[in-house]
Amino acid sequence: MISVEEALARILAEITPLNAMQVPLSEACGLVLAQDIVAQEDIPPFANSAMDGFALLSHDSQPQHGQPSRLRITGGVAAGYVADHAVEEGTTMRIMTGAPLPPGADSVIQVELTRSEGPDSEWVEILEAVPPGNNIRPAGEDMRRGQTVLRQGSEVGPWEIGVLATLGWPTIPVIQQPHVAILGTGDEVIDVDEPLRPGKIRNSNSYLLEAAVRQAGAVPHRLGVAHDTVESLREKFTEAVRYNLIITSGGVSVGDFDLVKNIMAEQGQINFWRINMRPGKPVAFGHIGGVPLLGLPGNPVSAAVTFELFGRPVIRKMMGHTRLVRPQVDVIVEDGVSDRAMRRHYVRARVEWRDGHFVAHTTGNQGSNIMTSLLNANALVIVPEGGVEVRPGDTAKAMMLDWPEE
């Protein structure tokens, strides 16, 4: 049996990011940039007004003999247009937010600090002196031509999309999204729309994993459930090897019908198949037909937890992410963990910030078949291997499932 850390290291050593591709800008959200993005233009591309007001020479805004200065309005410039003449001494032009600064002007005064007789007025009084550059957004204030604005490996979110649109990228170079085959196993497992029959249970794992794979950023493909026969598994794996990653649940333990490892050995290789943890000791990793295969345990909680620990980082690495694992924090375990486990124990818990500390409450029965104790959990409290006891009020590490990877 290997440790969780060794298992993760051995898995990730076998995983490489997928190739780059171009996607339309509007489909890039959630994907990872395959190259640096360098600005080809200054942004904003031209000096423009930050306010609706009047463009003028700043020294013309000084009061004259204690009276507000009066300037002649020679025209106007709206956003999207350029002035057809310059602002000269003693004159001004109306200007709207986002409109290019007319030649000659070095300052803009907002309309609220002026007085005129309506939109047709030929004269305006300047009620306050303004310095040069007032309310002007200079060219290149936000981004400079030649500047690296986004780095390869960063995730594209809505704000990055806004920046990419500004810089004129209709398609974006990103790392491909992994396609993940999800395979259930077990003669007892029937689909969700089938009535329960004696001895049968519904397939929770495939649906849980489908959602978790999607949430991790990959495209899931549910391939149904293989029977506990070598033939059935072989048939399903023939289909599964068309994807970038195969995730199975069940059939990797030591029972008579735990045949996933047999097929792995027959058609590929097994790297390891047991991890010193619970829930989820039987986790197998290897390759089949050149495709990485992560064999998760059958118990739904074990499948869920081991996906978080191993499946999600694999998908993130394939997607080009460099931050692969969830952060850990110190928490006070208010209710303690009563069962001393020899294996590393990942305890479902709810962590909250209270009075300057993170406090954890376990979410109930920690049996690996008890799905309801997943429901309120946002963290896994980590009880070290070797029968360590966590008494109420003790401090432990918790892996935060609702915090971004670091």
Least distance to ligand AMP, CB of residue 21, Å:
32
- At its nearest, how many Å lie between ligand AMP and the CB of residue 358? 32
Tokens of 74: 């020679």
Residue of 53, 220, 250, 268 interacting with ligand AMP (CB under 6 A):
250
Nearest to 177 by CA among 245, 101, 267, 82: 245
Token code pair at residue 344: 């590393």
297: contact with ligand AMP by CB under 6 A: yes
Site size toward ligand AMP (CB under 6 A) is 20
CB 138, CB 40: distance < 8 Å: no
How far is 241 from 54, CA to CA, in rounded Å?
67
Q: Is the CB of residue 355 less than 8 Å from the CB of residue 345?
A: no
String marking each residue 170-209 x if it binds Mg ion according to CB under 5 A: ----------------x-----------------------
Whether residue 195 is preceded by a cis peptide bond, meaning omega within 30 degrees of 0, is no
If one asks whether residue 313 binds ligand AMP (CB under 6 A), the answer comes out as: no
**Partner whose footprint covers residue 300, from ligand AMP, Mg ion, none (CB < 5 to 8 Å by kind):** ligand AMP
User: How far is Cα 132 from Cα 106, in angstroms, rounded to an integer?
Assistant: 5
Rounded distance, CA 127 to CA 122, Å?
A: 16
Which residues neighbour 236 within 8 Å (Cβ) at sequence distance 6 or greater? Answer: 183, 223, 224, 226
Tell me the closest approach of the beta carbon of residue 254 to ligand AMP, in angstroms: 9
- The verdict on whether omega for the bond into residue 100 sits within 30 degrees of 0, i.e. cis, is no
Select from 27-35, 246-254, 286-294, 380-388 the region that touches Mg ion (CB under 5 A): 246-254
Q: Rule CB under 6 A: which of 357-376 touch ligand AMP? A: none
Q: Which amino acid is at 128?
A: E
**Binds 249, which of Mg ion, ligand AMP, none (CB < 5 to 8 A, cut-off by type)?**
ligand AMP
Residue of 61, 69, 92, 299 interacting with ligand AMP (CB under 6 A): 299
Is-contact 15 271, C-beta < 8 A? no
Cβ atoms 128, 156 nearer than 8 A: no
Nearer Cβ to ligand AMP, position 91 or 366? 366
Vertex 75, ends 73 and 81: CA angle to 5°? 145
Counting contacts by CB under 6 A, is residue 279 touching ligand AMP? no
Residue closer to Mg ion by CB (options 54, 273) is 273
Q: Which residue from 102, 220, 250, 292 is in contact with Mg ion, where contact means CB under 5 A?
A: 250
Binding to ligand AMP, residues 174-233 (CB under 6 A): 184-186, 188-189, 201, 203-206
Residues that bind Mg ion in the complex, under the rule CB under 5 A: 186, 250-251, 298
Residues that bind ligand AMP in the complex, under the rule CB under 6 A: 184-186, 188-189, 201, 203-206, 249-251, 253, 255, 258, 297-300
